[in-house]
């Protein structure tokens, strides 16, 4: 049955979305726990030694990051499909079956990471334990499972999009999710040349996070602005097309900034420099987009003599605004810091990269996906205007402050590495250790741990809020 975001009850697609969001939230929690374990190991290297070594904790931390975001992304699409197309998702039973297949596969993969950890470095390791490619380390059997799940998801999206109403948001999502799923194939085959392997691996990671995922975020922002503040669809969708053009225009060849030092031809320096310099522009455009629609819609209502806020879901809108700001800050500023080859020669592989990774993944993706979870809470509880609670505010401040704090601490650590390990000691083995043993680096790692714990506490508030905010009595129903 057709539905809208305020009446999610009764839609099987929206029910499936809540399953995806729930599993995503659990994996999000696991990501933070193993992040804190890895952060402790920087401060106390013997912590969980030979039980959960740093390599294992880090692997789970960054793979869980990707997995929870993919789950939340699938969930968000299942949530908005009935609203956008005006019909129930086609093939929803397949979608539900594939959810359980996907979730079960992830549980098995994580258990293998934890209990088996390493293999004999033969072909069987790639098939059964993990592939050793950062962020997408799932063993090959799981790769094939993920492909099947992704195909089912793309089928649901395309079949529904073609049968129902084809809005601009759905059209963009159909093209984008096909590319999103297809790019995963580039990370599935094995080559015995590390440069060739990295060349293709970056197709998955870069073209996900700086092209297809950003376009996906643009689509979600468009949907959010329409549902939360009543922004005009035609305006919002025109923005979306501009963003798509800008994101793909700069993001695809921005891939060059990952090809500076992996053995690829040197013309990538200039291609990477040029298109990387352009990459912040769409993020500025997305920022203006949110401000424009918010300002115009609120202004129009005020002119009509209705000064009340136009925002129908305060916590979700807060996370959407944080997304516009965080995307610009984490992906834009922290990316631009070290994107030109002249300076990337010194910063590459230092904690600068880690700082950028933390701020960009959080700012560009975690924020808007958390916002979508709040939209789902509003819909499943039939709330007209969802207002924040103390837990919403605590979660927002602690998670945002914690990630910002980690980003700053890691930036300081990275700066020490740039000066000591790279500029002074020339990227030597001794330089690597000298850089890590200095006071500034050590203290930065202490602060990173502290801020990581703050983030984890913030997550506890978030989980509590998502489970309880729908029952609060101060909302407009």
Partner 1 sequence: MLAPINESVMITEIALDDFLPIFISSSLVLVFGAVYAIVFTFVKVGALKPWLMPFGYLGWVLTAYCLYLMGSLMHVGEFTQKALIVTMIGYLFLPHAIYYMVDKVHQENEH
List interacting residues with partner 1 (CB under 8 A).
232, 234-235, 238-239, 242, 266, 269-270, 273-274, 277-278, 280-281, 284-285, 287-288, 291-292, 295-296, 299, 328, 332-333, 336-337, 340-343, 345-346, 415, 418-419, 422-424, 426-427
User: What's phi and psi for 385, nearest 5 deg?
Assistant: -130, 115
Scan for tokens 């990707």, then name that residue: 66
Q: Are the CB atoms for 229 and 294 separated by under 8 Å?
A: yes
Contacts of 229 (CB under 8 A, 6+ apart): 293, 294, 297, 298, 310, 311, 312, 317
Least distance CB 422 / partner 1 (angstroms): 7
Least distance CB 1 / partner 1 (angstroms): 29
C-alpha 178/C-alpha 197 separation (Å) is 23
Least distance CB 234 / partner 1 (angstroms): 5
Least distance CB 440 / partner 1 (angstroms): 13
C-alpha 54/C-alpha 35 separation (Å) is 10
242 vs 394, beta carbon nearer partner 1: 242
**DSSP label at 304?**
T
Least distance CB 355 / partner 1 (angstroms): 11
C-alpha 294/C-alpha 228 separation (Å) is 10
29 vs 249, beta carbon nearer partner 1: 249
Least distance CB 331 / partner 1 (angstroms): 10
144 vs 336, beta carbon nearer partner 1: 336
Question: Closest by alpha carbon to 198, among 133, 276, 287, 112?
Answer: 133
Least distance CB 284 / partner 1 (angstroms): 5
Least distance CB 183 / partner 1 (angstroms): 27
SS3 call for 476: strand
Question: Tokens in use for 148?
Answer: 């099947």
C-alpha 105/C-alpha 67 separation (Å) is 11
17 vs 217, beta carbon nearer partner 1: 217
179 vs 281, beta carbon nearer partner 1: 281
196 vs 408, beta carbon nearer partner 1: 408
21 vs 223, beta carbon nearer partner 1: 223
**DSSP label at 257?**
G
C-alpha 407/C-alpha 413 separation (Å) is 10
288 vs 430, beta carbon nearer partner 1: 288
Instruction: Give Cα separations from 397 to 55, 93, 313, 362, 447 (angstroms).
Output: 30, 39, 17, 13, 17
**Residue 39, class by beta-carbon neighbours within 10 Å (0-12 exposed, 13-18 middle, 19+ buried)?**
buried
């Amino acid at each position: 049955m057709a539905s809208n975001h305020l009446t999610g009850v009764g839609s099987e697609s929206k029910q499936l979305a809540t399953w995806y969001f729930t599993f995503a939230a659990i994996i999000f929690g696991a990501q933070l726990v193993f992040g804190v374990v890895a952060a402790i190991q920087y401060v106390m290297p013997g912590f969980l030694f030979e039980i959960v070594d740093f390599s294992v904790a880090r692997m789970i931390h960054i793979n869980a990051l990707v997995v929870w975001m993919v789950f939340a992304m699938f969930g968000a699409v299942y949530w908005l499909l009935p609203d956008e197309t005006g019909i129930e998702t086609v093939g929803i039973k397949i979608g539900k079956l594939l959810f359980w297949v996907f979730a079960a596969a992830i549980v098995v993969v994580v258990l293998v990471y934890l209990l088996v950890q390493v293999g004999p470095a033969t072909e069987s390791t790639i098939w059964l334990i993990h592939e050793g490619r950062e962020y997408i380390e799932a063993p090959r059997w799981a790769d094939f499972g993920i492909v099947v799940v992704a195909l089912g998801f793309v089928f649901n999206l395309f079949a529904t999009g073609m049968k129902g109403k084809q809005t601009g948001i759905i059209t963009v999502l159909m093209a984008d999710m096909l590319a999103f799923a297809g790019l995963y194939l580039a990370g599935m085959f094995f080559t015995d040349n590390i440069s060739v392997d990295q060349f293709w691996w970056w197709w998955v990671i870069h073209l996900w996070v700086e092209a297809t995922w950003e376009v996906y975020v643009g689509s979600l922002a468009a949907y959010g602005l329409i549902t939360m503040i009543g922004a005009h669809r035609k305006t919002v969708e025109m923005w979306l097309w501009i963003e798509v053009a800008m994101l793909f225009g700069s993001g695809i060849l921005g891939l060059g900034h990952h090809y500076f030092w992996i053995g690829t031809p040197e013309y990538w320096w200039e291609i990477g420099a040029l298109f990387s310099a352009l990459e912040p522009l769409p993020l500025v455009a997305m920022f203006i987009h949110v401000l424009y629609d918010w300002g115009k819609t609120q202004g129009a209502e005020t002119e009509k003599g209705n000064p009340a806020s136009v925002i129908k879901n305060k916590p979700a809108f807060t996370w959407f605004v944080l997304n516009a700001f965080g995307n610009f800050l984490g992906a834009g500023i922290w990316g631009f810091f070290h994107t030109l080859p002249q300076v990337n020669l010194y910063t590459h592989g230092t904690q600068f990269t880690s700082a950028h990774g933390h701020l960009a993944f959080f700012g560009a993706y975690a924020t808007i996906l958390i916002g979508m979870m709040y939209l789902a809470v509003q819909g499943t509880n039939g709330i007209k205007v969802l207002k924040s609670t103390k837990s919403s505010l605590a979660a927002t401040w602690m998670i945002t402050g914690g990630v910002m704090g980690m980003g700053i601490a890691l930036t300081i650590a990275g700066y020490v590495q740039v000066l000591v390990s790279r500029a002074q000691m020339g990227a030597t083995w001794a330089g690597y250790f000298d850089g890590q043993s200095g006071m500034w680096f050590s203290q930065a790692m202490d602060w990173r741990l502290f801020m990581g714990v703050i983030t984890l506490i913030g997550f506890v508030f978030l989980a509590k809020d998502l489970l309880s905010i729908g029952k609060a009595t101060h909302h407009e129903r």
